[in-house]
Amino acid sequence: MTAHLGGAHERGESPHLSRKLANRHIQLIAIGGAIGTGLFMGSGKTISLAGPSVIFVYMIIGFMLPKGHR
């Protein structure tokens, strides 16, 4: 069984997507990029000091973290 819901054009709406970014959106993207870069650089320094076993520890923590948030 299928139903035809009609497209945006049939409902009288504009078929185009809105491509607007508010100043707040751009600021949040920049903040996220800065935080992500800091985490990446910090992880690289830790891996260079402790060796490849840190990657294994990150994998264990990454597996356990979602389990603890349920």
Reading the chain (70 residues) residue by residue, the pLDDT tens digits are: 565 555 555 666 667 777 888 999 999 999 999 988 888 888 888 888 888 888 888 889 889 888 777 6
Residue 34 within any structural domain of the chain:
yes
Tell me how far apart the alpha carbons of residues 23 and 29 are, in angstroms, rounded to a whole number. Answer: 10
Residue 7 within any structural domain of the chain:
no
Q: How far is residue 44 CA from its own chain's centroid?
A: 20
Tell me how far apart the alpha carbons of residues 12 and 66 are, in angstroms, rounded to a whole number. Answer: 44
Residue 60 within any structural domain of the chain:
yes
Q: Name every residue whose Cβ is closer than 8 Å to that of residue 65 and which is 6 or more positions away in sequence.
A: none
Cβ atoms of 28 and 21 closer than 8 Å: no
Residue 8 within any structural domain of the chain:
no
Residue 9 within any structural domain of the chain:
no
Residue 29 within any structural domain of the chain:
yes
Residue 4 within any structural domain of the chain:
no
Task: Name the residue range of residue 49's domain.
Answer: 23-68
Structure token pair of residue 53: 């076993």
Residue 14 within any structural domain of the chain:
no
Instruction: Tell me how many domains the chain contains.
Output: 1
Its pTM stands at 0.44
